Amino acid sequence: MTVGTQKILSPEEIAVRAGEQLSFLHLPEAGVFAERALRLRELAAGHAMGDFLRFVAELADAQHRALSAQVAVPLPTPGQIDAAARNGQPLLPAEAWRREPVWLESLRALLNDVARHLADGQPKAAVLQLAAASDEYLETQAGRLLGGVMLGLDLAAAPLIAAGLQLHWVRLVRQTAAHAPGPIAAFGRTDDPTLCPCCGSRPVASLERLGSDGARYLACGLCATQWHYVRIKCAHCQSTKGISLQSLVGTDETNSTTADAVVQAECCSECGHYLKLMHPARDNGLEPLADDLATLTLDLLVSEAGLQRQGVNLLLLFGEPDEAPPPGREH
Ligand SMILES: [Zn+2]
Ligand SMILES: [Zn+2]
């Protein structure tokens, strides 16, 4: 039943929506950043991008300390929760959600904390310099980052600002889920199954979750939510035809053959996009964002074949700085 463009949920639909959360959605857990840091250090050993992976691990450690500090963020109202559910939209859209000043305070605290923990040789001065940048500069950069606008984006500052945005959105999602009142669950299915149902971001990668009978989930690179998405289906155009899997053979990064690679690229010949498909059953320390960063060679291999990356990793952006907007922002 529809009124105008709004869907009216029946009590049955509301119940289904609440019940489905268990299997459809896996919201970010308290240890999300700690697990990421652990995995990044594991992957960094002997890796060509080891220094970068260890730097991102420092960021993730600081994100974990900040998340553990239980800082409250302003949450959506019951009216906003209701409207998002009825419109089939993500409740906390990355580009449109108003960022309250607490996110900037937290970003600066995060950067100062990171700088304190960096070793000699790591870019401590650059981190402190960014912490001292103006609100206006940080907000402008954050807006470009979340909007996928490469024009004018400071690529050196981007991973640091992204870390602050990830922290903010993980807080938003976790606290909203913990405190949401009313019969309608704060998060559930939305109209576009290829976008994060919590924040509307494109996935960083997909994975066959352990303990889910091989069900495939898309993983959000901003708020770390994982949501169910049918297997062997393009995460860009939703085609189920022309899907093939590519992987590296016997490289240092995967040390595996094509058939049992931990990370594969799911390629779509219908639209020419690919998204990584990861298999925790083959390496149970796997963490989507970390494993994405560590398999850049797979991106190079697949993009040489002319395919475009669908995954978004805010810590390592693809595309030219003078490109605006970058590919794949047509959603
Ligand atoms: Zn998200
Ligand atoms: Zn496609």
Alpha carbon of 273 to ligand 2 centroid (Å): 6
In tens, the pLDDT along 16-36 reads: 554 454 489 999 999 999 999
How far apart are alpha carbons 242 and 271 in whole angstroms? 9
- 255-271 mean pLDDT: 84
How far apart are alpha carbons 244 and 103 in whole angstroms? 41
The yes-or-no verdict on residue 322 having pLDDT over 50 is no
Alpha carbon of 225 to ligand 1 centroid (Å): 5
The yes-or-no verdict on residue 319 having pLDDT over 70 is no
The answer to whether 276 and 311 are in contact (CB under 8 A) is yes
Task: Give the class (CATH, top level) of 17-179.
Answer: alpha beta
User: In this predicted structure, what is the pLDDT of residue 327?
Assistant: 42
> 3-state class of 243 per DSSP?
strand
Closest ligand, as measured to the CA of 225:
1
The yes-or-no verdict on residue 2 having pLDDT over 50 is no
Closest ligand, as measured to the CA of 201:
1
Alpha carbon of 194 to ligand 2 centroid (Å): 11
Closest ligand, as measured to the CA of 267:
2
Closest ligand, as measured to the CA of 272:
2
**Where along the chain do the CATH 3.90.1670.10 domains lie?**
17-179, 203-309
In tens, the pLDDT along 186-242 reads: 899 999 999 999 999 999 999 999 888 889 999 999 999 999 999 999 999 999 999
Closest ligand, as measured to the CA of 270:
2
Alpha carbon of 198 to ligand 1 centroid (Å): 5
**Locus of tokens 């990355």:** 94
The answer as to CATH 3.90.1670.10 being correct for domain 203-309 is yes
Alpha carbon of 280 to ligand 2 centroid (Å): 24
Q: How many CA atoms lie within 13 A of 172 on its CB side?
A: 30
Ion ligand 2, residues whose Cβ is below 5 A away: 234, 236-237, 239, 268, 270-271
Alpha carbon of 203 to ligand 1 centroid (Å): 8
> 3-state class of 16 per DSSP?
helix
In tens, the pLDDT along 67-78 reads: 999 999 999 999
> 3-state class of 107 per DSSP?
helix
